Amino acid sequence: MIYDVNAYIGKWPYWPVRSSSSAEVAGELTGWGIDRAAICSTRSIFVHWDDGNCEVEQAAKNAPDRFVAFATLGTLELSHQLPRRGYDFEAYAVRGFRGVRLFPHHHSYHPLYDGFVDTVLEDAAARRWPVLLPLRLIMNWGMPMLELAVIEALVERHPRVNWILSGINYLWELQLAVRLMRRIPSVNLETSCVMGYAAVEKLVEQCGAERLLFGSGAPIQHGAAALSKILHAAIDTNSKEQITSGTFRRLVGEI
Amino acid sequence: MIVDAHVHIGKSTRLQIAADGEMLVRIADRIGFDKICCTDLTALFYDMHEGNRLLAGEMRKFPDRILGYASLHSTRFGQEAIEELDRCYHDYGMRGLKIYSTPEMSIAEPCTIPILEKCVELDIPILAHTTPQECEFLLGHVPGAKLIMAHAGSQPFARGDWNRAIMAAQRFPSLYLDTASSTIDTGFLETCVNTLGAERIIFGTDTPLLDPWPQLMKVRETKLTQDALALVMGGNILRLMGAAA
């Protein structure tokens, strides 16, 4: 079984992508050899985070063997109104969500200065829910990026969170991820944007396969291409299994 | 016949690469590539004469596997660059040119034009690390140049915009797109081929900066016909270089 921690449903606003509905994405993932995926709706990123969560909830209910729901959380403040409520993690748990995703570079808040982030992270840590934090959405040089120093500061501020660093490519980006993983045991890395030569081998040697998760960025990114870097890496079978399923299942509480 | 048209040889601390021909041929064997087209990093970033000489040595060690691009670290060396290109073609047997470009040191300037004209005279392709806009400048001045846009816009200076690269290639029939890139977007190759034709797309991996496996899979695992794939994955670059399969 191949588990993917970083897949999407929903429309892609920048160029045509052939799959967007949950059924289409499920079919695409199957074609690429991916059995199960944690999904986020792009509606959560580009329209409103909680509307997208409703789509994710429905997709996971319709196909619980294919999809795991991660809740995208954003600020509750509006242009005309201060927050009137807080985040109800218990309600999200009841709805079937198993993790959190943050997209500060798409949601117009600074993760170090907007207080809701600390609240969310403390709640996520208490529930042991993983929190996926992307440097960038997909590996495209035109996508907005978080500053590496901001990621480092946020992770260090919340060392109890089960972090899944995302959107990391190569060179100094990867060096930051390794540095954080070596210093903080609860920091993990998903591989959707890791493109460097022998990067997976080096990551396993430096941090251990139990800290790595396969991520595809599908269907925007090519799932089989993303998976190939794990399947063809010069690492042992146990490490491959760990990256493609073990770490994911541990973080979402399936094992 | 699979030919990787975008490979780096030599040393670069900036790219954290130290690779000789033996290492690169071993990688090619492992993944199933028949030939690799290399550019030397010393020639590309520091000293064209030294780097191209080093690459020529590696080509002699692996004559059936390594094809060479002559590389110029700058296009501002006038006649010296032209003579180096001549040497690489006639003495070393290199059948392409690789040039880099950054926003600070863009090659979209008049001094590049004689070099492109020399490439037209030699009938060799130019693999240029350029933005779509730079390609438009260069081909606007030398429309006969066979220009391969490295990374097809999917590089930092071009802001990852492969859609714009395709639009540029629609305007210039001698502009080709290289697939090597950190970007592995679904549908990229199909869009390129449907818009431009398979003859205009060149398979590359950017090894050993990038992992060649995703680069191969994003091209091979597509909905293209076998004929189209054969062009993209080797036929086109061999045709442009005038190299025997």
pLDDT of res. B245 = 57
Average pLDDT over residues A177-190: 98
Q: Does A224 touch chain B (CB under 8 A)?
A: yes
pLDDT of res. B209 = 97
- The reply to whether residue B161 touches residue A18, judged by beta carbons under 8 angstroms, is no
Query: What distance in Å separates the CA atoms of residue B167 and residue A110, rounded to the nearest whole number?
Result: 36
pLDDT of res. A85 = 87
**Domains in chain B, start-ordered, CATH in brackets?**
3-241 (3.20.20.140)
**Crossing angle for the helix pair B48-61 and B78-90, nearest 10 degrees?**
10
Q: Which residue has the tokens 């990688």?
A: B27
pLDDT of res. A163 = 98
Residue among B101, B166, B193, B167 nearest B138 (CA):
B101
Instruction: Tell me how close the Cα of A230 comes to any Cα of chain B, in angstroms.
Output: 9
Q: Over the stretch A108-150, which tens digit does the pLDDT of each residue have? A: 999 999 989 999 999 999 999 999 999 999 999 999 999 999 9
Give the CATH number for residue A244.
Answer: 3.20.20.140
Chain A positions touching B158 (Cβ under 8 A) are 141
Q: Over the stretch B159-213, which tens digit does the pLDDT of each residue have? A: 999 999 999 999 999 999 999 999 999 999 999 999 999 999 999 999 999 999 9
Query: What distance in Å separates the CA atoms of residue B124 and residue B192, rounded to the nearest whole number?
Result: 23
Q: Over the stretch A23-56, which tens digit does the pLDDT of each residue have? A: 999 999 999 999 999 999 999 999 999 999 999 9
Q: Over the stretch B96-135, which tens digit does the pLDDT of each residue have? A: 999 999 999 999 999 999 999 999 999 999 999 999 999 9
Residue A85 domain boundaries: 3-251
Query: What distance in Å separates the CA atoms of residue A146 and residue A133, rounded to the nearest whole number?
Result: 10
What's chain A look like in SS3? CCEEEEEEECCCCCCCCCCCCHHHHHHHHHHCCCCEEEEEEHHHHHCCHHHHHHHHHHHHHHCCCCEEEEEECCCCCECCECCCCCCCHHHHHHCCEEEEECCHHHHCCCCCCCHHHHHHHHHHHHHCCEEEEECCCCCCCCCCCCCHHHHHHHHHHCCCCEEEEECCCCCHHHHHHHHHHHHCCCEEEECCCCCECCHHHHHHHHHCHHHEECCCCCCCECHHHHHHHHHCCCCCHHHHHHHHHHHHHHHCCCC
Number of domains comprising chain A:
1
| Sheet containing B35-40, strands listed edge to edge, beginning at the edge strand earlier in sequence | B17-19, B3-12, B35-40, B66-68
* Per-residue tokens: B112: 């590049």
- Classify residue B28 by burial, with Cβ atoms within 10 Å: 0-12, 13-18, 19+: buried
Instruction: Tell me how close the Cα of B205 comes to any Cα of chain A, in angstroms.
Output: 10
pLDDT above 70: percentage of residues in chain A = 100
- The reply to whether residue A221 touches residue B185, judged by beta carbons under 8 angstroms, is yes
User: How many beta-carbon pairs below 8 A join chains A and B?
Assistant: 97
Alpha helices per DSSP H over B91-235: 113-122, 132-141, 162-171, 188-196, 212-220, 226-230
Query: What distance in Å separates the CA atoms of residue A72 and residue B230, rounded to the nearest whole number?
Result: 43
Residue among B203, B160, B161, B162 nearest B179 (CA):
B203
- Comparing CB atoms, the residue among A32, A143, A195 nearest residue B214 is A195
- Comparing CB atoms, the residue among A32, A171, A220 nearest residue B185 is A220
pLDDT of res. A86 = 87
Q: Over the stretch A199-231, which tens digit does the pLDDT of each residue have? A: 999 999 999 999 999 999 999 999 999 999 999
pLDDT of res. B90 = 98
Residue among B118, B170, B167, B177 nearest B147 (CA):
B177
Query: Which one-letter DSSP state was computed for residue B185?
Result: B
Instruction: Tell me how close the Cα of B5 comes to any Cα of chain A, in angstroms.
Output: 17
pLDDT of res. A14 = 95
Whole-number average pLDDT of chain B: 96
| Sheet containing B126-128, strands listed edge to edge, beginning at the edge strand earlier in sequence | B70-72, B97-99, B126-128, B147-149, B175-178, B201-202
Residue B75 reports pLDDT greater than 80: yes
Chain B's closest residue to A32, CA to CA, is B221
Q: Does B221 touch chain A (CB under 8 A)?
A: yes
pLDDT of res. A187 = 98
- The reply to whether residue B161 touches residue A16, judged by beta carbons under 8 angstroms, is no
- The reply to whether residue B214 touches residue A138, judged by beta carbons under 8 angstroms, is no
Helix or strand or coil: residue B22? Answer: helix
Instruction: Tell me how close the Cα of A138 comes to any Cα of chain B, in angstroms.
Output: 8
Interface test with B, best of A4, A140, A172, A231 (most B CBs within 10 A): A140
pLDDT of res. A227 = 98
Chain B positions touching A228 (Cβ under 8 A) are 213-214, 216-217
pLDDT of res. B244 = 63
Q: Does A196 touch chain B (CB under 8 A)?
A: yes
- The reply to whether residue B217 touches residue A220, judged by beta carbons under 8 angstroms, is no
pLDDT of res. B219 = 97
Instruction: Tell me how close the Cα of B72 comes to any Cα of chain A, in angstroms.
Output: 25
Contact B214, A226 (CB under 8 A): yes
Residue B25 reports pLDDT greater than 90: yes
Contact B85, B122 (CB under 8 A): yes
Q: Over the stretch B137-159, which tens digit does the pLDDT of each residue have? A: 999 999 999 999 999 999 999 99
Chain A positions touching B208 (Cβ under 8 A) are 197-198
Instruction: Tell me how close the Cα of B157 comes to any Cα of chain A, in angstroms.
Output: 8
- The CB density around residue B64, as the number of other CB atoms within 10 Å, is 9
* Per-residue tokens: B91: 């003495």
Interface test with A, best of B31, B166, B186 (most A CBs within 10 A): B186
pTM across the whole model: 0.95
pLDDT of res. B243 = 81
